[in-house]
């Protein structure tokens, strides 16, 4: 009874604290501007099923994709055992589903064990890749410090989770023979039926009970720790990948968002729209974005969904030629800035909010202009992302703000801008652009 009370209170506390943390993530995403989400709903759900749930884009690189799939599928199936642990903890019973499901229970738990073993191997592979092999895309400058520690912490937690599963199942197999009244028959489990006697066969009943309870509590405590840690980790993508793929743009990859004010001016120049009336006191609009408030909520959702896998940076031609631009770093910087803004607003006791926020800083304090100038807008990063994140969109918005609002930009770009404005052509040619249509 004491264990039941402790478990119930602990579970309710963890869910309450985790719920508040996830709500804070939602508020950070809502710092951005709302934007209409339209398009084919069926296509959006297709993205969710194929890209988020089905891991479709992961398999452009087969080796890490296979090991990631092992961990991913093990994670999904382990939720079945987690549900049983929750029921057991609240109800004070043991192996709630075993008497109900019979042979199907044996099949389910055996499947979980096989997947857990594969996940264990995959976890070791990922630890080696990150810490010994130093895979280039996982060793970029932005991955030093906390990002590297974050990844390793989750991998270690995965090993602890698997240790809990096999300790619990291995001891339980033996206890079923010693105390069948309290330990329901699970059938012959595919792995624990062998590892249990091999590892714990010499232990007495009381020690086996301790080992079984150790595995049970280790499993649930690691899950609870992961749940509390998730809002601060790149592994938030486990949850956000699904809404991110659903809300991802359905436009062709090369399509860029038009700015209504600029489109109006272009139409006026071409005689396609009447000139709008305005006064000298009218304020000029801000073009693009310089802080998280001017980005869209989808941009911020992208940032919090980023897995920091580095596939975008690995294919970026600017990064490959030694330039500072790293699309992954751009998304990480946006997330860090949103975190900073949210902390400052929360600490202001209601004095600050998105409409009056000004701490003298902006995204340009995180992302240098040298980085955004290096982007070739080739969309390689967009194509590479396994969860449909678009790093190019915020880069374009930052560049538009610099050029159109601040009237700045690289000196070598200015002749092109002047030529487009004066001659309607990127090249300083005085002839009309459509002259070739009338040439004999």
The per-residue pLDDT for range 51-93, each reduced to its tens digit, is: 999 989 988 888 888 999 999 999 999 999 999 999 999 999 9
Say which DSSP state 293 is in: G
Residue 440 has a pLDDT of 56
Residue 282 has a pLDDT of 60
What's the mean per-residue pLDDT of the chain? 91
For 184-193, how does the pLDDT look when each residue is reduced to its tens digit (9 = 90+)? Answer: 999 999 999 9
Indicate if the alpha-carbon torsion angle 129, 131, 132, 137 is positive or negative. positive
For 281-318, how does the pLDDT look when each residue is reduced to its tens digit (9 = 90+)? Answer: 466 678 899 999 999 999 999 999 999 999 999 999 99
For 304-357, how does the pLDDT look when each residue is reduced to its tens digit (9 = 90+)? Answer: 999 999 999 999 999 999 999 999 999 999 999 999 999 999 998 888 888 889
pLDDT of 112 over the 90 cut: yes
Q: How distant, in Å, are the alpha carbons of 87, 131, 169, 321, 415 from that of 389?
A: 37, 26, 40, 23, 33
For 404-421, how does the pLDDT look when each residue is reduced to its tens digit (9 = 90+)? Answer: 888 888 888 888 888 877
Where along the chain do its domains lie?
Answer: 2-30+61-246, 252-271+285-429
CB atoms near residue 422 (< 10 Å): 10
- Sorted by sequence, the CB contacts under 8 Å of residue 319 that are 6+ apart come out as 313, 325, 326, 327
Give strand ranges (E) for 120-221: none
Tell me which of 69-78, 120-129, 131-140, 414-423 is least confident. Answer: 414-423
Residue 155 has a pLDDT of 95
Instruction: Considering only residues 258 and 432, tell me which one the structure prediction assigns the higher pLDDT.
Output: 258
Q: CA 420: distance to chain centroid?
A: 39
Residue 350 has a pLDDT of 82
Tell me the CA end-to-end span of the chain in Å, nearest whole number: 96
In contact, 175 and 212? CB cutoff 8 Å: yes
Specify the residue for token string 């624990």.
192
Give the integer Cα–Cα distance in Å for 152 and 143.
12
Specify the residue for token string 């909520």.
297
What does CATH list as the number for 252-271+285-429? 1.10.1060
pLDDT of 43 over the 70 cut: yes
- Sorted by sequence, the CB contacts under 8 Å of residue 288 that are 6+ apart come out as 294, 396, 397, 398, 399, 400, 401, 402, 403, 404, 405
Residue 283 has a pLDDT of 67
Q: Percentage of the chain surpassing pLDDT 90?
A: 74
pLDDT of 104 over the 70 cut: yes
Specify the residue for token string 């996982």.
138
* Confidence band, pLDDT 50/70/90 cuts, at residue 252: confident
pLDDT of 128 over the 90 cut: yes
Q: At what angle do helices 146-178 and 103-131 cross, to 10 degrees?
A: 150
């Amino acid at each position: 009874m004491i264990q039941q009370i402790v478990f119930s209170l602990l579970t309710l506390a963890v869910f309450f604290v985790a719920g508040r943390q996830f709500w804070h993530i939602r508020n950070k995403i809502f710092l951005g501007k709302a934007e209409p989400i339209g398009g084919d709903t069926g296509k959006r759900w297709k993205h969710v099923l194929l890209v988020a749930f089905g891991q479709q884009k992961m398999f452009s690189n087969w080796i890490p994709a296979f090991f990631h799939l092992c961990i991913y599928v093990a994670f999904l199936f382990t939720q079945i055992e987690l549900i049983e642990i929750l029921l057991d903890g609240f109800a004070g019973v043991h192996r709630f589903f075993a008497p109900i499901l019979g042979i199907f229970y044996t099949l389910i738990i055996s499947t979980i064990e096989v997947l857990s073993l594969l996940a264990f191997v995959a976890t070791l592979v990922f630890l080696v890749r990150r810490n010994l092999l130093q895979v280039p895309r996982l060793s970029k400058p932005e991955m030093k410090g906390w990002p590297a520690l974050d990844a390793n912490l989750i991998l270690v937690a995965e090993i602890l989770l698997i240790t809990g599963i096999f300790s619990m199942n291995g001891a339980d197999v033996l206890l079923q023979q010693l105390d069948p009244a309290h330990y329901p028959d699970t059938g012959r489990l595919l792995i624990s039926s062998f590892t249990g006697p091999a590892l714990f066969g010499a232990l007495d009943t009381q020690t086996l009970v301790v080992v079984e309870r150790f595995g049970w509590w280790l499993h649930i405590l690691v899950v609870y720790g992961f749940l509390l840690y998730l809002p601060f980790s790149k592994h938030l993508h486990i949850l956000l990948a699904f809404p991110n793929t659903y809300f991802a743009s359905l436009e062709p990859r090369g399509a860029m968002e038009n700015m209504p004010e600029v489109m109006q001016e272009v139409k006026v120049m071409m005689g396609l729209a009447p000139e709008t009336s305005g006064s000298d006191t009218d304020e000029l609009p801000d073009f693009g974005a310089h802080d998280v408030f001017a980005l869209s909520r989808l941009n911020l959702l992208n940032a919090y969904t980023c897995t920091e896998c580095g596939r975008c940076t690995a294919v970026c031609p600017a990064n490959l030629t030694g330039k500072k631009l790293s699309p992954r770093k751009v998304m990480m910087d946006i997330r860090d800035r949103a975190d900073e803004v949210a902390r400052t607003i929360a600490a202001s006791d209601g004095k600050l909010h998105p409409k009056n926020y000004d701490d003298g800083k902006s995204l340009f304090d995180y992302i240098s202009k040298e980085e955004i100038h290096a982007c070739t807008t080739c969309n390689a990063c967009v194509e590479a992302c396994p969860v449909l994140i678009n790093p190019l969109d915020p880069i374009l918005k930052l560049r538009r703000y610099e050029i159109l609002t601040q009237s700045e930009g690289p000196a070598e770009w200015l002749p092109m801008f002047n030529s487009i404005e004066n001659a309607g052509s990127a090249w300083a040619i005085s002839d009309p652009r459509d002259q070739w249509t009338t040439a004999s």
